[in-house]
Structure 1
Amino acid sequence: MGTTLAAGDFVRAHTTLRTVDGLPSISLHQADDAIDLWETTEAHQGITGTPPPFWAFAWAGGHGLARYVLEHPHLVAGRAVLDVASGSGLVAVAAAAAGAATVVANEIDAYAAAAIALNADANGVRVDVVHGDLLDGDGGGADVVFAGDVFYSRAMSERFLAFLERARDRGARVLVGDPGRAYLPRERFTRVADYRVPVDRALEDADTKAVTVWRV
């Protein structure tokens, strides 16, 4: 609990609550400078080589997936939803706003877990946060499973694909948002929607990215 509280204080201190570009119905605690926050987070943790602060930005894959959910609320209405590698909680918040019966957002990063809780509260929705690694399971209990922007490395791609396919095999609807990451196994998915979304130039070296929503 102490770690979560400290992380929550850190998130508040280094972000500003504002609407998401292109998704004006959702507000997130967002950072202004990705590189500065990355360095500050490493200093706060006392370690180097940490992943980027996924929790402080609306990453492209999650942005596209959240848009798809808001445009197709029937996909989640009255259903149990799991958002894995939730980052800021953008997709989880969108699912809750679209009428999901329950929403669980999963993250292994304590800062992300804190950010998700803060963002859910800021948007007036309920999202239950599970802090830990769920990828050896099958997302049991969730009718709908979301994963935004998870195919960024070979090792993680293999773990996520196995998890998502197990969730599908037990009967869940599984949707992925991806902006063309190198390790996305396109041949295993079915394309359901395409978007162009705004992104942070410091993170993506562009102002917008093409995002595809895929069904596993």
Structure 2
Amino acid sequence: MTTCARHLDFIRAHTTQAHAPLVPEIPLYLATEITPLWQASSDFLERHNLEPPYWAFAWPGSQLIARTILDNPNHIRGKTVLDFACGGGLAGIAAAKAGAQTVSGNDIDSFALSALTLNAALNEVTVSPVTGDLVGTQPECDIMIVGDVCYDAAMTAHILPWLARCATRCEVWLCDPGRHYGPQGKNEHSNLFSSLEVLSQKNIPTSRDLESADTRLTTLYRLPKTPA
């Protein structure tokens, strides 16, 4: 059995088919209160050689991107789309459903790409997995969609300047649920968020097991298209 096949079997065994609150049209393999991954201990993760299973949850940013795409398919239809840091692929799946010409999903976690494969098949769409760290490269796409990446100072500093460079070549959407290091926070990266256009904003239900509040005010921004 290949490593990928082991990942697929693990995901099927430790998640269940469920729906994100904001996007009930799209079933996903998710961790819920009835699955082992919901309250996975560090011992559980180490025993299964797992990074924290971020791919097993529908985070607020991916939910709002997906909802915005499904409600406004003309933004996406006929475009080539890259779902960066895709996790389980909710946003990319929404793009495929909305009529994107092609959709790719990238994540540095191989389990996430396996979850993406399962979730895309569950929704009868094609989202091509892309391995490796794309930061510093020049992705070939019309629109890059990015959710929930500003969760700490190091990650924000790593990704935001690169996204600004990508905006010289493609449209870049960035979605953030009000994290301290995101556009709504007051932090040392605030200058990187100047001139952002708000595309959508909603309060999204969350779980106290994952977040510090019952809802997160989540905002989808478009980076200004800067000259090369």
TM-score by length of structure 2 reads 0.86
CA contact (8 A) 1:138 1:163 kept: no
CA distance in structure 1 between the partners assigned to 2:160 and 2:136 by the alignment? 11
Give CA-to-partner distance per residue, 1:77-96, whole Å, 9 cap, x none.
Answer: 00100010001100000100
CA contact (8 A) 1:14 1:37 kept: no
Deviation at 1:111, TM superposition (A): 1.0
CA contact (8 A) 2:22 2:64 kept: no
* 3-state SS, counterpart of residue 91 of structure 2: helix
Aligned identity (percent) is 40
Deviation at 1:169, TM superposition (A): 0.7
Task: Give the corresponding residue for 1:201.
Answer: 208
CA distance in structure 2 between the partners assigned to 1:89 and 1:199 by the alignment? 18
* 3-state SS, counterpart of residue 74 of structure 1: helix
CA contact (8 A) 1:4 1:114 kept: yes
Deviation at 1:188, TM superposition (A): 5.1
Give CA-to-partner distance per residue, 1:143-199, whole Å, 9 cap, x none.
Answer: 0000000011112112211221121112x1110110011212433522221111122
Task: Give the corresponding residue for 2:162.
Answer: 163
Task: Give the corresponding residue for 1:192.
Answer: 199
Task: Give the corresponding residue for 1:55.
Answer: 55
Q: Which moved more, 1:58-67 or 1:191-200?
A: 191-200
Gaps of 5+ in 2: 183-189, 224-228
Q: Which moved more, 1:180-189 or 1:14-23?
A: 180-189
Going from structure 1 to structure 2, the CA distance change for 1:38 and 1:59 (only over 3 Å counts) comes to: farther
Q: Aligned letter for 1:189?
A: L
Q: Aligned letter for 1:37?
A: A
* 3-state SS, counterpart of residue 114 of structure 1: helix
Q: Which has the higher helix share?
A: 1
Deviation at 1:200, TM superposition (A): 2.4
CA contact (8 A) 1:58 1:199 kept: no
Deviation at 1:35, TM superposition (A): 5.1
Task: Give the corresponding residue for 1:175.
Answer: 173
* 3-state SS, counterpart of residue 209 of structure 2: helix
* 3-state SS, counterpart of residue 32 of structure 1: coil
Higher-RCO chain (CA-CA 8 Å, sequence separation at least 6): 1
In the comparison of the two structures, how many residue pairs are matched?
210
Deviation at 1:38, TM superposition (A): 5.4
RMSD: 1.7
Going from structure 1 to structure 2, the CA distance change for 1:138 and 1:163 (only over 3 Å counts) comes to: farther
Q: 2:45 aligns with which of 41, 45, 50?
A: 41
Gaps of 5+ in 1: none
Pair member with larger Rg:
2
* 3-state SS, counterpart of residue 94 of structure 1: helix
Task: Give the corresponding residue for 1:6.
Answer: 6
